[in-house]
Structure 1
Amino acid sequence: MAARATALFLGSFTLLNLALAPIVPGFDANIWWIDDRILPSFLRPGVLLICGLGLTLYALPVVFYAGAQWTRRRRRQSPIPDIDAYMFAYPNWQRLINRVLIVSVLLLVPIVGVNIVRYYELLHTGEILARFPLSFSLLVLIGLMVPAGQAVRNLRCSVRPEAGGSSQSGVRGMRAYVRDILRFCFYGLCAVFLFPLAQMFCFGYTDYRRPADAAVAFGARVYADGRLSTAVYDRTRTAVELYRAGFVRYLIFSGGPGDGGIHETAAMRDYALRHGVPADRILLDPAGLDTESTVRNSCALLRSRGADSMLAVSTFYHLPRIKLTIQRSACVGYTVPARESRILRLLPWYLFREVPAFWYYYSVAPFAPRYH
């Protein structure tokens, strides 16, 4: 069931992104799991369409099995022992979906392999930095091997399970039915949860710093006495380091009200001034109440000065969602994880909370207006 759930997640994610691409210009969320730019542009949609269909097709027997089991129950017929028995009742169909799945994976593996090699080449040359040097493409490769390995085993298996007709086997069949459906749903939810979580560590901990017009530090809690919380201290310090290293010309501090009378952006500005950043190089966005407003307002500040590139600085788990938002803007943006002074006390909660936030931003991205 893990193999079919993984295949369904990757397949449906791919097909959904392909369906939205012609409707929403510039929307290409498949880049989040595979970079197919090594292929000629005219081949990319076709290859991903074939692979998306192949992966999704591999998971469809679960739906048919559930429907057949429900129908037999309503007709008071003996339940099917399990999904394997159901599939062996249709050998030609089983061989077809397994072969299509294997072909789909074989098409994807070279692309994913190039992605992995390219990632470590960039690390080696110093074009990117990573505190968690694990390529997300390597996890994708492992994820593809799960259904592919199961498909190969299915093709090699020639023993047909015996259909049970006794009441005892019927009870086992219903138990297997409930167990299989629950397992399928569980593994599917795991895929939905683990995908953004892996992005937080693999993408979030990758440092894409390069020359840009401004570094944008995203706000976080400022205490009533004006002290910076750990999160906002790390973000502000990293932004100042980028300025002092010559990567950017401006610093943009974005945030909302603090716990007391001191605004988050004012506290961040004071830190930068104390560390040698000239006041005329600091821009404030006091209306940056969330990720979307920060990106929108920062882009407007840059465009008003004839600039359009930014380095987004925040805590690692926040960066995938920031990148999703930047992709809707008229600005060019790269992400830089804040250098951590210590591990956040509530980090597990922040990671858990970020998962639904990631999917929410993904779901609204195709339909939200672009920022200018």
Structure 2
Amino acid sequence: MSPPRREHAGVRARARAWLPDVGLALGVFVALNVAGELLVGGGFDVTGAWISLPEGPGATVLKGTLAAALIARGLGPLRRPWARVTAASALLVVAAAAAWDTIVYFALLTTGRIATPLPFPSSVLVLALALALAWTAARPGPPRMWSKGQVVRSLAVAAVVAWTLPLVLMLTFGPTRYAREADAIVVFGARVYADGRPSHALADRVDEAIRLYHRGLAPVIVMSGALDEVHGGSEPVAMKARAVAAGVPAAAIVLDELGVDTAATVDVTTAWLRERGERRVLAVSHYYHQPRVKLLFQRAGVLAYTVPATMSRRLLKEPWFVAREVLAYYAAWLAPVLPTN
């Protein structure tokens, strides 16, 4: 075998060796979602953020089968032919659903229903990974040798997968604009300076809301934020001042100074919408924040169309914000089962 061919064969062999570990990590994640939904309910299952499956008992059975198959294959090759067929079949169903999601995504993109600077949906990754895992699950092989090194490698892969899952949503779903008619525009707060000026991040969010309002997509803007703990400045007041200066009527702005964090903004906004008999919002924040915003609104029963703020410049702390948001996403996901003070 020539050197290039040997090199390519080595790359393929290493990829095959890592796939079961990736599948094991994903299987545990799916299993946790299924268990949480059965025990807690209330929209605990967040797998729909990556793959659209029909709701109901059938979907739960499919996800349970998928989780069991991925975990079993991660622990070692499936010995029974029926187990290999079951695992591969479940993964092919997921691949088919991902292919359909991809078709729908590009249909929405070409018709102008959504817009994005990066036309690459997460469903493409799900499709490729499901096909690769189906191929791996269908192949017989010798038992895996669980040495200390193998355990460390599997844990490292699990950590990478856990870190990557929210990051994929931030980079694919996050920048996608779902702007359309809604009952209200909700702007999530950010830092305001002592002199009352909004930070660049906050200004970009407010300016995005102003553009949506002037397009006539919603009749009211909810400015949600908190009072600064150091100088006492109000984020919502600074947001309102900027919007009024841009031509938004003061009567079309609602202030929420109880929005001390994302969950609080969602709670207050949800209560306000229910009083009005409404449930559709345009949620404005930065791209990295949008997956968590969508998760919390969805759990609250609010139909949120996310619109990422157009950044006038890159944020200096953007890498930190993205890294922090990975942890915040998991905290929001696990909130129903975490102890509260």
Q: TM-score, normalised by structure 1?
A: 0.79
Aligned to 1:5: 21
Aligned twin of 1:210: 180
Q: 1:275 — aligned with what?
A: 246
1:242 to 2:259 alignment: no
- Counterpart CA distance in 1 for 2:122 and 2:49 is 9
Match of 1:35 among 25, 42, 52: 52
Q: Which residue pairs with 1:124 in the alignment?
A: 110
The equivalent residue for 1:18 is 34
Q: Does the Cα contact within 8 Å between 2:92 and 2:130 map onto a contact in 1?
A: no
Letter in 1 for 2:125: L
2:198 counterpart SS class? coil
Secondary structure in structure 1 of the residue aligned to 2:299: coil
| Partner Cα distance (1:119, 1:368) in 2 | 38
Which residue of 170, 188, 194 maps to 1:224? 194
Distance 2:152 2:36 in 1: 30
| Rounded Cα–Cα distance in structure 1 between residues aligned with 2:136 and 2:31 | 22
Structure 1 357/261 Cα, relative in aligned 2: closer, same or farther at 3 Å? closer
SS at match of 2:79: helix
1:53 aligns to 2:68 (yes or no): yes
Q: Matches of 2:113 and 2:267 in 1, distance apart?
A: 27
Shift of 1:21: 2.8
Q: Which runs of 5+ in 2 are unaligned?
A: 1-16
State the 1:151 CA deviation. 4.2
Paired amino acid for 1:32: A
Contact 1:51 1:107 in 2 (8 A): no
Which of 152, 170, 173 aligns to 1:182? It is 152
Higher-Rg structure is: 1
Structure 2 Cα separation of the partners of residues 136 and 251 of structure 1 = 30
1:150 deviates by: 3.6
Distance 1:331 1:195 in 2: 23
Please say if residues 92 and 131 of structure 2, whose CA atoms lie closer than 8 Å, have aligned partners that are also in contact: no
Aligned residue runs from structure 1 range 56-71, under 5 A: 56-61=71-76
Q: How does 1:89-168 map to 2 (within 5 A)?
A: 93=79, 98-151=84-137, 154-155=139-140
Check conservation: 1:328, 1:365, Cα contact below 8 A. no
Secondary structure of the residue that 1:253 maps to in structure 2? strand
Q: How does 1:334-349 map to 2 (within 5 A)?
A: 334-349=305-320
SS at match of 1:217: strand
Of 246, 251, 256, which aligns to 1:285?
256
In structure 1, the gaps of 5 or more residues are 62-86, 162-172
Question: Residue type matched to 2:264 in 1?
Answer: S
Displacement of 1:261:
4.2
Which range moved further: 359-368 or 25-34? 359-368
Distance 1:197 1:128 in 2: 20
Q: Give 1:291-306 correspondences, 5 Å limit.
A: 291-306=262-277
CA offset at residue 14 of structure 1?
2.2
Which one-letter code corresponds to 1:20 in the other structure?
G
Q: CA deviation at 1:329?
A: 1.5
RMSD: 2.5
CA distance in 1, matches of 2:173, 2:318: 17
CA shift, 1:99, in A, is 4.5
Partner SS state of residue 194, structure 2:
coil
CA separation of 1:25 and 1:94: change in aligned 2, threshold 3 A: closer
Give TM-score scaled by structure 2 length.
0.86
Confirm or deny: 8 A CA contact 2:193 2:199 kept in the other structure: yes
Identify if the C-alpha distance between structure 1 residues 307 and 95 changes in structure 2 by more than 3 Å, giving closer, same or farther: closer
1:362 aligned partner: 333
